[in-house]
Structure 1
């Protein structure tokens, strides 16, 4: 200490004494910059003239003095007093520690004494008896009450102090945050003062930083008192890090004020307060995850230790060693010390900055041990946490004037690329929507590259929709919709559906008004969505059930082969690919470029009938309108498909169009009779200045802009709310005959009137043995080959059967359905099938040719190949092995159909599942006859079936037939496996599915084509309603709610309301070989056929099913056909073409039931199709037809085939 005070040295101006000691008094240099130069001492003496007259010479003038100025005369001798600052802290710390220990010792002794005295008094009370005890208890009770009152007061104060410093209350949180902020402020003041000498004279009233530091420390002192009062263990509190920081930083400030001098000292300890940084952030609810808390903890400990150690090195190196009279100091700034500590911890040690003092070097020895260990453990962990931090963990920032949607669920490269390809397709016009993907797994490199290619419209965030915090990050409350993708290839479809339902629940719980479009795999799981209170399909919520639509598409192919391909292409966005060569791909791709759009009709169409508007749009606007949204008198909206000429177009009617892009559809909106009536080029039809059109445009919303629109399609209304549409069409069959009610007792429908229904049957009653099936001679039926076992996931065969049992078929038109597969699997599906008529089961395997021959697969109208085992195989290339093997097995079969002539007799075998009460169940009129094949929806197709005089016999083709002529449709999981179905095609393995020959021909179907429905439904939710109406046979929300309750159809009585539901449009194929359109089939124009069919029969044509090699000049034996969607007006027809068309239900078609006969398998356009495609007879044939049933059986007859 004596050395610290200095041996006394006046600041005389006459120079220094011997030994080279000098008096350093320059106030503008650092205290550490001590010099032994005499000139320095001379210049310093000029600033202290009061002592310039003499200088003090002592034998040991090695004492250090501080700068002294006239403004702050803290010590005329410039003597250092660092010991006073340090002593204040040490006295405070050890004094308090001594008092606490003394208090604990006295308290312990008092407790021991009281314990002994209490035992003595208790013994005395027992010995003296109760009378004496009563006299002595009273003062004791009073004393206990006084002690209790005192303890209660102290407890209240302690509790109050605890509340004040606790972060559990708002006051406590504010106080804790304020203390931390002021501690950081005090540390900043230390950083500022570190550029000054270690010890210097300062005037409290003139030094601004000292005043601020004083105010901070007064607050710290008060907070220290609160902490002391609230502490349960005072000794432990006294030894806490925060308490030690206060001991060595608060008292020196008061000493500074008293001595008018400042010592930098241990103020660097304030950096230890940074350790509490993570706690403060948790109090403010900023840190929520364990990784973020851990990261901040590591950083705060590392930085606080680093800064504190740098402060100690700065102090000792600028002061020097006390035993060396502080002569071995060196001038280092604080930040140079920070640099020194970092290179020391990292073991680099450049040597440019190093410790010179013994204290500094000793500290560095111990710091290297601890600092190196901390650096080696903390830094890698910090880097790992930062590296593992979610790269996509930010929040979405909404762009003004731009909508965004959130896409979640199964996010993979395949699902995202398919979605973006369709959603951002150029044919959609300008899509001003930003797509935000949310997934809990970060994207791989390929997916990340895909996002970067679409960075202007796509953003990805890592998180889960089950976490409300993540939903807030993607701004789900302001999103236009949320789309949930499903994993179509998962092993457990029910588990995948449950996951998506939970996502819907989470999103709806966070924001009930958000519009959700979700994919579902299983039809029966759709019922769970109805349990969500905020789920409302009228507000745009939709569930796209892949199993329902997939099997519905396949069912339509059983009725009109190729329809599944056409519909799949219509709601998928495909760019036009131009091919110059005259090949089948040229015409197919021209049709593929068509999509389905909606647009409001111009006011010029108001009051016109639907066929008139439809013809005008096709001929003049080059647009194909297939349906409208009709608003009834009670303002309920319904989607009507080809409603007929009785319905007039209203103002603001929404039309459904098939066109190549959205701009073409605008013609229907801009059309004005006054301005565009004489225009022949449809491209010139643009917006005109007519007043009516402008008014209408202002009234109607944009067509393709995403909108939440109430969807209430025609098939979605209850029967009572749907007005019956009376038909005024020319009857295709004479209607003056008495309607035959022979089978009225079996014509039963479900409670909605949408489907044929029968009483539940036990599965044993519909099982056929191989011999029974062979004796039945099945023909004109549908064979369903199903692969599955007791452990396979259910695929929902009800969705396949329901469209084939739609009520707009007459009972005799229903095709018999035969399932070939494992009985164990079919037993699991049977509960959903036992209410449908004409269903049989042949236990076996589709790979067995014996089973296939038993069900006469060569005489079937369609063979469907399905598998329930596809998703149980990891190798994608092997997922379709069963279906491919079955398909190739059937194609390689050879059939000799010379089964002879079977006489019709009343003893014919009735297979299980058939009711003998129906005349159709007789050998001739039931299973043994060859009915015409129903190949379409809603279109009566009339054909010549047999020559007169051959009705009592079953006429069967006598020629050899191979399995290649059997109509088949195969379900595939992996698109690339389509190359294995046709061995004679030239499809490249990398060819997209829609470009392959099997898909274009309608013989293959993959669930991946349904991905496009997500974006199509978002842009227009009526598209999904229209598709479901066409492919499901008329499923309604009422029916779905009923199935959710009972898991089965409920039978109902035939009331006028339910029977009216049969009057709905259907699809069919029209043959051009014979009938009133035969003249157009040979080189005629498609547009002429379109207009003639629409005017004469109210049939709306929308595509062609053409032989693959029909364009060749030489005859070809190939029977494959492909789909041409919406051909142009001038498209040339060939006689073998089949025309897809829409027609309303015909009530009189039931009269021709008894006139059915077997048709020969002639070798017309396609050998098997000769019996499955029908034509309309000429008017002469119908007018001269006899009235009696016997004579009608010898004429050419017509069969109306419908979906």
Structure 2
């Protein structure tokens, strides 16, 4: 009787299924088949007449039925049809039939639900990208979040980038969160999300890596262990390069020490997030407006914003500048023989375009104004330059310039120009224009560049008490205290002035200070700008060892929202104040609260600015949506006078007083202007963001700059240099 149970061994076939959907479907089918065949076999054994019986089946309580008839009976019974033409007559047969019907009611729905769940997940995130032959695609992997995707997609699919036919395939180990789903829904027909690991070949095959045009490896910028985050990016880079030896791989790292390593592992270009951020922040303390300039050049607008009429005089020229971006421009061969300075003057006059740098065989280089343009292997191309232009139309107008105008300009410059110096001739021999396909040669030059950057070290003997040294030699015993102890306890000299106050410690303090120290001085007698760090805890000794060679670096232990601690930094005589975001999203239930500390510090410093002279103020924000919480301060007269913004309110309005009708009307005109921008913009971006006072005045650094830069790499190679 138990022999029919051997049929259950058929479940061994499930192990040959290639996917989870095949496994669940095979398990469900084999479950039903096993129930039918096993029950039919058991009923044949229990219903069979072991001895001859002359009466009918009910009297004998046995019946000799064929196996096909029993299969038919079991199917009719478990499907609850019950025709009644065949029925069990033995007590054991009736018990088996009742048990199987109840058992089927429980087991079969469970299997069906599993198939449904598998199909649902398979449809959303487990399918493969199948349009590689129709649409070129890029693979996005690593750490993915909603803010990054929103900026990346907005720039990648911008009309001026000509990526209308491209698709983006996101390969991530975990399903998307609610915030990420909102972004994906906005680009539903252009983006496909696949749940899988970039380290597994089968998942890379589902992402069609072998046909990908480019790959992006994104690092977790808020990781508590930056070195571990960089190592993860390195492993992903190796896996992607194995899967596609020819495609471009753009990777991110946090620490600059790991950039050369990723390039050697196969990355085409590397964006060092920490170095980029703190270099911009460091220079913004001395070069006002730099964060906004960089952000506006890397982001593209979705309409002719400067065509709108503004009630404020400063907004129209500002929006005109915002419309410009960085483009890779092909210079026709007719320009050969001109100097780079002549090229700038001619293109600015004829196409409103400003060349910045030349794409050479060694990467992007800022050549001398007297450098003479040569020619490339392309018979129609002189060179490729990165230039600032107002939209794609300005770039295309370069190719439409009549050759007669160029030849006439060349003749005029030859008459007025002088012969090129021997130094320029030597430089011309060293620098060769590139077509942009010298990938390996440019990669080697970038590796050498990062290697030289890491060999850079300051003179440790120049350390004049990185903590500023004690103000009184009798206060401390120098033979008993180390440099690190003096840095942590000595504070700031009383006569310090024109210094930079930094609220918090940068994760890459070395490159932050290095950027400030390498800035050109205004005159020969000027000294390096002192830097004062204000934080609750001092940096570790290992990080201090990298910065102790810099002179005039000091530390004050305290809080930026404590007036006494701010006074210890001599903020009255400071030239700049930099506020860093120190928190991470994991510390808050609401990820938008990550900038709470920075916003609070800004509001506090603005409040106390009634008692002190306000220096240049720069703040780092992780979430761009939080800018409006800063700019609300600029609606008041006091704040506008402090930050040098165009006045939106009357001079009689005080910082604490209610707004008058004049104030309300000015704010109303501004809000109506923003509404007109958003209406004409088609809803693609929040146009009012670029008009926020803190953004327009160049006082906010946003991490979205890095995401915009990554999207530009696809059409503008080596722009990260």
TM-score calculated relative to the size of structure 1 = 0.46
- Pairing partner for 1:413 from 139, 146, 156: 146
Q: CA deviation at 1:865?
A: 1.5
- CA drift of 1:827 comes to 4.3
Q: Separation in 1 of the partners of 2:247 and 2:459?
A: 38
* Residue equivalent to 1:637: 362
**TM-score normalised to structure 2 length:** 0.73
In structure 2, what is the equivalent of residue 688 of structure 1? none
Alpha-carbon displacement from aligned partner over 1:576-613 (angstroms, at most 9, x marks no partner): 33421243333322222222110221112100011111
Task: For residues 1005-1062 of structure 1, give each alpha carbon's deviation from its aligned partner in whole angstroms, at most 9, with x where no partner exists.
Answer: 121232111111222232111xxxxxxxxxxxxxxxxxxxxxxxxxxxxxxxxxxxxx
Match of 2:292 in 1: 565
Task: Give the Cα separation in 1 of the matches to 2:627 and 2:467.
Answer: 37
| 8 A contact 1:769–1:842 mirrored in 2 | no
Q: Is the CA contact 1:479–1:514 (under 8 Å) kept in the aligned structure 2?
A: yes
Aligned to 2:703: 1007
SS of match in other structure, 1:671: coil
Q: Which runs of 5+ in 2 are unaligned?
A: 377-381, 410-432, 476-489, 636-666, 675-685
Of 607, 610, 618, the match for 1:892: 607
Out of 401, 404, 408, the residue aligned to residue 671 of structure 1 is: 401
How much does 1:300 deviate?
Answer: 0.7
SS in 2 for 1:482: strand
Alignment of 1:440-519 (within 5 A): 440-444=173-177, 447-448=180-181, 450-519=183-252
Could you tell me how far apart the structure 2 residues matched to 1:891 and 1:574 are?
A: 31
Aligned to 1:551: 278
Q: Distance in 1 between matches of 2:552 and 2:373?
A: 40
The structure carrying a bigger helix percent of its residues is 2
Shift of 1:469: 1.8
Q: CA deviation at 1:528?
A: 5.2
- Deviation, structure 1 residue 470: 0.9
2:629 to 946, 969, 980: 980
Q: 1:599 aligns with which of 324, 329, 332?
A: 329
2:310 match: 581
Structure 2 counterpart of 1:778, from 475, 496, 507: 496
Counterpart CA distance in 1 for 2:454 and 2:297 is 32
For residues 178 and 33 of structure 2, the distance between their equivalents in structure 1, rounded to whole angstroms, comes to: 35
Closer, same or farther in 2 for the Cα pair 1:342/1:323, shift >3 Å?
Answer: same
Could you report, residue by residue, the CA deviation over 1:228-251 in whole angstroms, capped at 9, with x for unpaired residues? xxxxxxxxxxx8669x8xxxxxxx
1:381-460 → structure 2 map (5 Å cutoff): 381-388=111-118, 390-391=121-122, 392-400=125-133, 402-444=135-177, 447-448=180-181, 450-460=183-193
Shift of 1:397: 2.0
SS in 2 for 1:884: helix
Query: Could you tell me which residue of structure 2 aligns to residue 44 of structure 1?
Result: none
| Cα contact 2:88–2:94 (8 A) shared by 1 | no
* SS, match of residue 328 in structure 2: strand
For 2:254, the equivalent position in structure 1 comes to 521
**Shift of the alpha carbon at 1:369?**
0.4
Shift of 1:444: 4.8
Contact 2:621 2:701 in 1 (8 A): yes
Instruction: Please point out which of 832, 850, 858 is paired with 2:572.
Output: 858
Distance 1:327 1:665, change over 3 A: same
CA distance in 1, matches of 2:603, 2:143: 33
Alpha-carbon spacing, 1:442–1:822, altered in 2? closer, same or farther (3 Å): closer
Please show how residues 253-292 of structure 1 align to structure 2 within 5 Å. Answer: 272=7, 275=8, 278-280=11-13, 282=15, 286-287=17-18
1:919-957 C-alpha deviation (Å, 9 max, x unpaired):
xxxxxxxxxxxxxxxxxxxxxxxxxxxxxxxxxxxxxxx
Residues 514-561 of structure 1, C-alpha deviation per residue, up to 9 Å, x if partnerless? 53222333444546536xx5335xxx2x23222211111111212211
Contact 2:498 2:574 in 1 (8 A): yes
User: Who is 1:609 aligned against?
Assistant: 339
Call closer, same or farther: CA 1:418–1:316 in 2, change over 3 Å: same
**Taking structure 1 as reference, are residues 307 and 589 closer, same or farther at Cα in structure 2, changes over 3 Å only?**
farther
What are structure 1's unaligned runs of at least 5 residues?
1-92, 94-238, 245-271, 631-635, 680-699, 720-748, 788-793, 896-960, 1026-1203
Q: 1:335 to 1:1006 in 2, by over 3 A?
A: farther
C-alpha separation in 1, matches of 2:688 and 2:369: 38
Kindly indicate whether structure 1 or structure 2 has the higher relative contact order, using CA contacts under 8 Å at least 6 residues apart.
2
> What is the CA-CA distance between 1:387 and the residue it aligns to?
0.8
Q: Note the C-alpha offset of 1:968.
A: 0.9
Assess if the C-alpha contact under 8 Å between 1:782 and 1:816 holds in 2: yes
Q: Is the aligned partner of 1:797 residue 2:505?
A: no
Query: Among 545, 550, 557, which residue is 1:831 paired with?
Result: 545
- What does residue 971 of structure 1 align with? 620
Cα contact 2:535–2:556 (8 A) shared by 1:
yes
Whole-angstrom distance in 2 between the partners of 1:543 and 1:520: 7
The aligned runs of 1:787-936 (5 Å cut-off) are: 795-806=507-518, 812=526, 814-822=528-536, 824-825=538-539, 827=541, 829-871=543-585, 873-874=587-588, 875-893=590-608
> What is the distance in 1 between the residues matched to 2:166 and 2:308?
33
The residue aligned with 1:372 is 102
> Aligned equivalents of 1:399 and 1:750: distance in 2?
40
1:755/1:805 contact within 8 Å kept: no
Q: Is the 8 A contact 2:499 2:530 kept in 1?
A: yes
In structure 2, do the counterparts of structure 1 residues 991 and 425 end up closer, same or farther at CA, with 3 Å as the change threshold?
closer
Aligned equivalents of 2:444, 2:397: Cα separation in 1: 25
Q: What is the CA–CA distance in structure 1 between the aligned matches of 2:444 and 2:340, rounded to whole Å?
A: 16
Contact 1:608 1:648 in 2 (8 A): yes
Task: Give deviations 1:591-640, integer Å, cap 9, x for gaps.
Answer: 2222211022111210001111111111111212111124xxxxx43423
For 1:370 and 1:762, the matched residues in 2 are separated by 89
Structure 2 matches for 1:1095-1174, cutoff 5 A? Answer: none
- Measured at CA, do residues 848 and 325 of structure 1 come closer, stay the same or move farther in structure 2, by a change above 3 Å? closer
Q: Deviations over 1:1074-1122 (max 9, x none)?
A: xxxxxxxxxxxxxxxxxxxxxxxxxxxxxxxxxxxxxxxxxxxxxxxxx
**Matches of 1:978 and 1:654 in 2, distance apart?**
37
Q: 1:654 maps to which residue? A: 384
Check conservation: 1:439, 1:463, Cα contact below 8 A: yes
Rate the CA distance shift 1:870–1:370 in 2: closer, same or farther, 3 A: closer
Give the conservation status (yes or no) of the 8 Å contact 1:396–1:473: yes
CA distance in 2, matches of 1:764, 1:613: 46
Number of residue pairs matched? 614
Find the residue that maps to 1:825 and give its secondary structure: coil
- The change in CA–CA distance for 1:606 and 1:358 in structure 2 (over 3 A counts) is closer
Aligned counterpart, 2:642: none
| Selected match of 2:266 from 535, 542, 548 | 535
Q: Distance in 2 between matches of 1:714 and 1:605?
A: 29
Q: Which secondary structure does the structure 2 equivalent of 1:460 belong to?
A: strand
CA 1:862–1:768: 2 relative to 1, 3 Å? farther
Work out the CA distance in 2 between the residues paired with 1:585 and 1:276: 78
